[in-house]
Amino acid sequence: MALYPRPRSALIPVLHLAQEQDGYLTEDAMVHIGELLDITAAEVYGTASFYDMFFREPVGRHLISICTNVACMINGAYELVDHAEKTLGIKADTTTADGEFTLEEFECLALCDKAPCLTVNWRFFGPVTNQDFDRLVDDLRAGRLADVVPPHGTLCRVRRTVGLPAQVPFPGREGDPMKKPVRDGDGVGAAAGAPAPPVDKRTPGERVAEGQQPAREGAVPQVDESAAQILGPEGTDTGPTAGGSRAGGGT
């Protein structure tokens, strides 16, 4: 919680941790989180029930979310859902009897150029044909994708151990930065009356050359090991990168 400006700011990351531990958010966990963050259990429940990345009922070891939004729909998403229901022997929004798979429809997974697409435990696959789906299910059941698809609830296998920039007071501003408006016309983070921060006129290439910004195209993301505790042999898995309206963010 020390990573955040105030305890309640840790609510969503802590909910993700609880879900990673138990597979879903138990009532006990939500009550405990409320005590931990000094907020009511109702506030915890209100957040947990608002975001559809959080589950308050048990889900399968593999959560399969098939996008049925426009791009995927016109590329056969509903046919894929029908096929998935037959293959798994369940309807959408239910779980197989052996607890292996939960199937759900989802709205825009932000992988529209690979329609129709799906995620398994927030990892992306697309475009997916019926045959691809059957192979995917076989591979998941046999554990052949364990390196790529971690257990349900695992968002990110790299843990952040340093605080947010919000803990640093903005230039020219005294006290708690959260108590004053962040945006006042002089740009994000500028205090009223304070001089605007200097504009960085360097090109992205120049910043890359000076080691201040990773190259965007074709670059392998670098993990700052001084700021991250790497869990598991995969190490550099940074979790999902998109998720529409879902509650996201690493923990």
List residues binding ligand FES (CB under 6 A): 67, 69-72, 108-112, 115, 117
Q: Is 74 helix (H, G, I), strand (E, B) or coil?
A: coil
Cβ-contact 6, 38 below 8 angstroms = no
On whether the CB atoms of residues 61 and 152 are closer than 8 A, the answer is yes
Considering beta carbons, is residue 108 or 155 the nearer one to ligand FES? 108
> Which residue number, 48 or 118, has a Cβ lying nearer to ligand FES?
118
Q: Which of 54, 106 has the CB closer to ligand FES? A: 106
Closest distance between ligand FES and the C-beta of residue 211, in Å? 35
In whole angstroms, the minimum distance from the beta carbon of 76 to ligand FES comes to 11
| 72 versus 84: smaller Cβ distance to ligand FES | 72
Cβ neighbours of residue 108 under 8 Å, at least 6 residues apart? Answer: 67, 69, 70, 71, 72, 244
Measured from the CB of residue 80, what is the shortest distance to ligand FES in angstroms? 11
* Of 100, 106, 91, residue with least CA distance to 140: 100
The answer to whether 37 touches 10, Cβ cutoff 8 Å, is: yes
CB-nearer residue toward ligand FES: 23 or 243: 243
Residue 10 vs 72, nearer CB to ligand FES: 72
Least separation in angstroms between residue 66's CB and ligand FES is 9
Task: In angstroms, give the least distance from the CB of 54 to ligand FES.
Answer: 21
CB of 103 to ligand FES, least distance (A): 16
Task: Quote the Cα angle for 16-60-52, to 5°.
Answer: 45
Q: In the chain, where does DSSP find H-type helix? A: 11-22, 27-37, 41-50, 70-73, 77-88, 130-142, 204-209
- To ligand FES, the closest distance from the beta carbon of 116 in angstroms equals 7
User: Is 11 or 115 the residue whose CB approaches ligand FES more closely?
Assistant: 115
| Distance separating alpha carbons of residues 241 and 243, to the nearest angstrom | 7
- Residue 139 near residue 89 (C-beta atoms within 8 A): no
> Which DSSP state fits 36?
H
